[in-house]
Amino acid sequence: MSEKLAVIIASEEYEKSHVAAMIASVAAVSGVEVSIFVTMNAVYNFLKVNVEKKNFDGGKIYEQIKEKKAAMFYEMFDQAKMLGGLKIYVCSMVMDLLKIEQEDLIDIVDDNLGLAAFLGIMEGAETITF
């Protein structure tokens, strides 16, 4: 595996954020520098109001995660941030379009930035998109 991993989450579908968190967490704990870029509809999954209400667009797996009280994607990201090198960025263009402020986002988000800046961060990284 590369020393750097870039994960782009663009879908609002809960399961995509969850599998991104699983992959990113294992990579970060394994010593890989991980950068997450949250863009397009995926931004809704990182809003405090939706996390507090567990208001996500998900399928059967999401329902099982809720029912069994398994770790949610944002909890896995938080654990990975504590144990490894993981940063989460939200797309500034989407934030502008939706009139979202940094304080509207959950605390695990490190910053917002544009795509060009994220492309600089991910230079030389393996990239996965959800």
Please report, for the chain, the start and end positions of each structural domain, with discontinuous segments joined by +.
4-129
Digit-coded pLDDT (tens) for 56-110:
999 999 999 999 999 999 999 999 999 888 999 999 999 999 999 999 999 999 9
Structure tokens at 55: 């208001």
The CATH superfamily label for domain 4-129 reads DsrEFH-like (3.40.1260.10)
Look at residue 1 and tell me whether its pLDDT is greater than 80. no
Q: Which pLDDT belongs to residue 32?
A: 96
Question: What's the pLDDT band for 121 if we cut at 50, 70, 90?
Answer: very high
> Distance (Å, rounded) from C-alpha 74 to C-alpha 20?
10
Q: Which pLDDT belongs to residue 84?
A: 82
Q: Is 88 left (phi over 0), alpha (psi -120 to 50) or beta?
A: beta
pTM of the model: 0.95
* 66 CB neighbour count, 10 Å cutoff: 14
Digit-coded pLDDT (tens) for 14-61:
999 999 999 999 999 999 999 999 999 999 999 999 999 999 999 999
